[in-house]
Structure 1
């Protein structure tokens, strides 16, 4: 992608939709194959300079910023919940509208200009903090009956594939082999897909999301 062309298109547009990935896009890469998955996930942080750039994008009224991720809702709330951005968790199964900034006290500062009780009037007229935006599921019903049998298949392939691991989410499971031998991991991934399509998800309302080094059945 031509960076200069992107800059020209950005500066020349009046309205912009900016969709950003989270894992491995806004986060720092963690190469720690000897660690457990939960430890690796805890080490993955958003670089402060990257977060500052996201904040600057949010301040432009011409921008609508969306953070799209396979992560769970609680993780996105923790990292981006204070920002006026749209959040999409678990690959779009759950969405959350932007947070709104709290209004300052009505009449703030008037007490300092003189007039007894000005500060008290400001406190009494303080605007309540807006309620936190709520997550909504894009499906009327999410069928997850298939997850238990898929977990058994994933556990089997974890035993066969050293340094692979499973990430359990509310509506999906991810088998990840990013720390395994690359070629062996790819062979195992192909074998895993055959097991899934002919077994636990053969008749389930599920799609397979194939990442660079991961396999994720997700509800349709």
Structure 2
């Protein structure tokens, strides 16, 4: 290093490249020229080097000539600046930077953490429920009232759940709303005879108890014939995945696919669909082992807000388990009890509960 008048460092791809920095650090007399590939991470710091594209042979030759004929005073100026940078950003500086960033990340995690629904909180929730004059319960279905099933059509409600929902809905001044991404036909078949409200397909179809189904707003579905072939391509490439077609949305399910392959294909499909739906009135939503393409602006939160306006309540409880339920939590007023089902995920919900089993236990306590 100390003998070399020019250092030529030309990686095609390099995270940092310490050779370039070692060369700079060794030049005690500050004479010497560094030629550095723009594809090395160090190029973002050592801007006083001659930066080149390593695949451009003409540029490389010109850089070598420039280095060999560079005046001594310019060499000293460039090397002094690079040495100051190398000295400043030493191993201790990098360690401090990383540790500070980790500490900041952990602090942000704590601020976004959701409190567990402890016995103390549960006691207060029950007291508020029984003291309320009007109650509104917004309940997600899959992953909240029932566990997930490899075949979504086999996740039908058991008799216990049906009796529980009926008992809650028949309590005075209590509205029970199933707010789900499922299609209205399935939920109507499973629970339509109960005196409860429905918000289905993430807010597309609405039905208050005893009334007819209505659309949240006029929607179009002519785009489905263009995007379905894309989903069919990923079904062919991902064993175990399948397509669900709703009235105004398409869903790609990969719960039955190999876990690793499913996640890889989901990321690929998400990127593909995001590109295709850019600058359109469509959106791509991620759920629990699903990707859904639907009309933009229609989501659980918008429908929940409509229910909150139509049926004011002084006790509100919203339960959900995945990203689509975050829209519901966002729409709820601060005093509402919002509960995320499952552990580990950050959420806008105030509280967290472990599983659908615990959800049913909580709902049974409301009847006590």
Instruction: Using structure 1 for the length normalisation, give the TM-score.
Output: 0.74
Between the two proteins, the alignment pairs up a number of residues equal to 177
1:28: how far off? 5.0
Q: Would you say the 8 A contact 2:138–2:179 is kept in 1?
A: yes
Q: 1:148 to 1:171 in 2, by over 3 A?
A: same
> Once superposed, what is the RMSD of the aligned Cα atoms?
1.7
Matched, 1:71 2:186: no
> CA–CA distance in 2 between the matches of 1:52 and 1:190?
40
> Does residue 1:83 correspond to 2:161, yes or no?
no
Which of 180, 183, 187 does residue 260 from structure 2 map onto? 183
CA distance, structure 1, for counterparts of residue 146 and residue 243 of structure 2: 20
Q: Offset at 1:7?
A: 4.3
Aligned counterparts of 1:95 and 1:81: Cα–Cα separation in 2:
12
- Bigger CA radius of gyration: 2
Alpha-carbon shift at residue 144 of structure 1 (Å): 1.6
1:29 and 1:209 map into 2 onto residues whose CA distance is: 18
User: Counterpart of 2:330?
Assistant: none
Residues 162, 59 of structure 1: alpha-carbon distance in 2 compared, 3 angstrom cutoff: same
- Please state if 1:95 is matched with 2:196: no
SS in 2 for 1:155: helix
> How much has 1:16 moved relative to structure 2?
2.4
CA distance in 2, matches of 1:169, 1:7: 40
**Which residue of structure 1 lines up, in the alignment, with residue 142 of structure 2?**
23
Identify unmatched segments of 5+ residues in structure 2: 1-115, 297-368
Q: What is the match of residue 216 of structure 1?
A: 292
* Alpha-carbon separation, structure 2, partners of 1:6 and 1:208: 36
Q: Distance between the aligned counterparts of 2:199 and 2:273, measured in 1? A: 26
Q: Quote the Cα distance in structure 1 between the aligned partners of 2:255 and 2:284.
A: 17
1:167 to 234, 244, 252: 244
Q: Distance in 1 between matches of 2:222 and 2:280?
A: 9
Q: How far apart in 1 are the matches of 2:292 and 2:153?
A: 21
Runs of 4+ that moved beyond 6 A: none
| 1-structure distance, mates of 2:235, 2:203 | 26
Q: Distance in 1 between matches of 2:282 and 2:122?
A: 35
Deviation at 1:30, TM superposition (A): 3.0
- 1:83 to partner: Cα distance: 1.7
Any idea what the Cα deviations from partners look like across 1:73-98, whole Å, max 9, x if unmatched?
22222122222211011111010011
For residues 28 and 194 of structure 1, what CA distance do their matches in structure 2 show? 29
Q: Which residue of structure 1 lines up, in the alignment, with residue 234 of structure 2?
A: 157
Q: Distance in 1 between matches of 2:140 and 2:224?
A: 25
- Unaligned stretches of 5+ residues in structure 1: 32-39, 100-132
Q: Is 2:171 the counterpart of 1:60?
A: yes
- Assess if the C-alpha contact under 8 Å between 1:208 and 1:218 holds in 2: yes
Q: Secondary structure at the match of 1:179?
A: coil
Contact 2:162–2:191 (Cα < 8 Å) also in 1: no
Name the structure with the higher helix share.
2
